[in-house]
Amino acid sequence: ASAGRARVRVRSHGRTIARRLRTVPTGRARTVVARLNKRGRRMARRPGALRAKVLVRLPGESRDRVRRVRIVG
């Protein structure tokens, strides 16, 4: 991917529970920490694991890369 901004969003049950924008250089790996917002923290407090999708859009791309995760509060 080219240099620019990478966008990370975490969605669960149709709601955005975390997001983060980070500038990334070309050809280097970067860790992006997307902290849960108020709604996400409330959802994670419920018993059991919270299923969510992590959507990552890299610079120069028009579609999101999607991974499923489980969040345990």
End-to-end CA distance of the chain: 33
Amino acid identity for residue 21 in this structure: L
Q: What are phi and psi of 17, to 5 degrees?
A: -110, -10
Q: What is the pLDDT of residues 9-18, one digit of tens each?
A: 999 999 999 9
- The number of angstroms, rounded, from the C-alpha of 69 to the middle of its chain's C-alpha atoms is 10
Cα→Cα distances 63→56, 58, 60, Å: 9, 9, 9
Please name which of 61, 45, 46, 50 lies closest in space to residue 11, comparing C-alpha atoms.
50
Average pLDDT of the chain, as a whole number:
94
The model's pTM: 0.89
